[in-house]
Structure 1
């Protein structure tokens, strides 16, 4: 990234006292971004000069036409000389403006051939190194993760904790962000090279004058080095199997999303078990408190003579309350059994998905990184600086 960023041009600059009255910055301090910024400023200057030149050319042609009419009509010599002077003045200004325009074109071409081309060569070299490193790391990741095939789900798998669920959800978000940023990287790269090719096509069109007088222009380099580099770069990017990597990342993001859904279902059931357990414990505590008071009250009243008749009319409330607690116990056991089975299913499905898709992800990314490394290594053949540039 140090090749592209703006910031490097402000590092290691000479002290302000050392600059004196010279505000020119050495080309070595320029970055890719600052070179583009300078070229844009010169392009705007050229645009203004060309537009002004067109208006001046129209005025010149009008004055020439007026002069021709005046000659045919035989106007006064004083009027004719005045028109001739105006034509000569416009012609001189046009010549001067064209020379200024040529200077602007020369500066743009100098920046193109001496600065932008050099920064693109640096970018090619940097991308080749980056993708070589990416290939190494993705291949290493593939070798490591291939060991997941030996993992087995334990007989009593651990349930999904809230922390585990948060980490899985974070992983899903990170992979989604990875997919989005990877897509932006490749799209912006293709867009930038496409834009440079379109600009170069216009840049190589000479600015011609249709005046009879020849205006001296600096010699143009028909095939600047940047042309072959940009054309090859564009063609290589078009053949790059970008969809291979994008699909691999997107598929893995969907796998993690499915695991998140499974974990959410498991956590929902776990919390239902916890609610049932708390309800059971609360009812047991209430029953024990009630049963204690009930037995104390019954003991204080003594044995009633008509106990048998009273029990027939009013069934023992202890039995009803115990029955309600037993129902909760049965429901809790069923929910716990369901939760245990679901926890095992979540572990098995998660592991099966990771076994299948995670090695596939890193294999595809390693292959894509290899393609990119080969592409930029091949582009290095087109990105050769002149000997004086290399020495400089």
Structure 2
């Protein structure tokens, strides 16, 4: 093995000292320098240069039209034999406009060159890095969702032994917070996919206009042009194909499941308040009854004949007994509602959690594979291109 390495050492030394190696090192250094430029900064610079180009083209076109008018006027003057000095003045004006046109054309060329430089030297590598970052992000999301799916699948081993433990205020607030977070999750997910699609559609549209608008045949693309456009085109197709509706509907369905728990907990809370109110009223009436019994005695109705049933103690006692019955009924309703809440919560979480995380796991996997395919294809193209450049 050592002899194998030694046989290649002269070749390695000659390659490392060659101009091509120096150029490659310089290119790598420039790439590292470029990587420190933010993507937003590059987009802002491109926008500024595009705006400058627009104004220069506009001024150039206005000057060209003015020159054509002057030339038409000159032809009429020469045909009609207009005064020599007027003709001379018009010719000088045409020369001035031609000079301005040359300046504008040079400015347009300079601006266009800078736009191309920014596009190829900054934007294209940044787009590659962004695709790589998205690929890594979705791989990480896939791994996280896999773990989450495994965890929530353990919920199926929980059982509900007809528990009637009431829902506490802490539980209610936690459920409301969970619902709010899922709403934010759904909104953020939809905005993420929409923003990424809008972004790559905008970039691809701009490239299509700037690269192929003035070509007679839009399919005639040189390699330099098609390199960045090919990346964005593949990226756009990949994003358009991902099944985001399945994932978003999974989150939305889970939100519906949690909302059902919130409604049931609210109904239980309402019954609790009603039961507490009846028991509070019962306690109040019971105190009044005890007060009357101390005043008249517990059997003060005896000996009053027909008026016995209308004695204060017996009337109050009848009301208290009625409230006791009502309180027991409300308590039974509340306990039954508590049992329904517990059963619904467990059942909804046992079905909702695995479904949403399975949907997100599948979506993350598809996205990771899609961006990996885009990145790998572009990297392969770049390696082939760089290798061909080194050979030429």
Normalised by the length of structure 1, the TM-score is 0.82
Alignment counterpart, residue 96 of structure 1, candidates 76, 82, 103: 103
Q: Is 1:312 matched with 2:319?
A: no
C-alpha deviations, 1:172-206, integer Å up to 9, x for none? 11111111111111111101111111111111157
**Does the CA contact (< 8 Å) of 2:163 and 2:342 recur in 1?**
no
RMSD (Å), alpha carbons: 2.4
Counterpart position of 1:12: none
- 1:272-351 to 2 correspondences below 5 Å: 272-295=274-297, 308=303, 310-315=304-309, 316-351=311-346
Cα deviation for residue 297 of structure 1 reads 12
Counterpart position of 1:45: 52
C-alpha deviations, 1:147-180, integer Å up to 9, x for none? 1111111343311112211111111111111111
Q: Is 1:158 matched with 2:153?
A: no
C-alpha deviations, 1:94-143, integer Å up to 9, x for none? 01210111100111111111111121111111111110010001111111
Cα deviation for residue 347 of structure 1 reads 1.4
C-alpha deviations, 1:259-291, integer Å up to 9, x for none? 100111111011111111111111111211221
Cα distance in 1 for residues equivalent to 2:152 and 2:262: 20
Counterpart position of 1:116: 123
Q: Is 1:203 matched with 2:197?
A: no
**Does the CA contact (< 8 Å) of 1:280 and 1:329 recur in 2?**
yes
Greater helix share, structure number:
2
Counterpart position of 2:40: 33
**Does the CA contact (< 8 Å) of 1:204 and 1:222 recur in 2?**
no
Counterpart position of 1:250: 252
Alpha-carbon distance change, 115 to 166 in structure 1, aligned in 2, over 3 angstroms: same
- 1:207-226 to 2 correspondences below 5 Å: 223-226=225-228
**Does the CA contact (< 8 Å) of 2:296 and 2:313 recur in 1?**
no
Counterpart position of 2:24: none
Cα deviation for residue 231 of structure 1 reads 0.6
Cα distance in 2 for residues equivalent to 1:222 and 1:61: 36
Cα distance in 2 for residues equivalent to 1:358 and 1:100: 61
**Does the CA contact (< 8 Å) of 1:228 and 1:382 recur in 2?**
no
The 10-residue stretch of structure 1 (99-108 or 197-206) with the greater mean CA deviation from structure 2 = 197-206
Cα distance in 2 for residues equivalent to 1:118 and 1:230: 12
**Does the CA contact (< 8 Å) of 1:124 and 1:383 recur in 2?**
no
Q: Which runs of 5+ in 1 are unaligned?
A: 1-25, 209-219, 299-306
Cα distance in 2 for residues equivalent to 1:379 and 1:205: 22
SS in 2 for 1:158: coil
Cα deviation for residue 348 of structure 1 reads 1.3
Cα distance in 1 for residues equivalent to 2:299 and 2:272: 40
SS in 1 for 2:152: helix
Q: Which runs of 5+ in 2 are unaligned?
A: 1-32, 216-221, 387-392
Alignment counterpart, residue 367 of structure 1, candidates 349, 362, 369: 362
The 10-residue stretch of structure 1 (289-298 or 266-275) with the greater mean CA deviation from structure 2 = 289-298
Normalised by the length of structure 2, the TM-score is 0.82
Cα deviation for residue 237 of structure 1 reads 1.0
Cα distance in 2 for residues equivalent to 1:28 and 1:352: 51
Cα deviation for residue 83 of structure 1 reads 2.4
Q: Is 1:136 matched with 2:143?
A: yes
The 10-residue stretch of structure 1 (319-328 or 159-168) with the greater mean CA deviation from structure 2 = 319-328
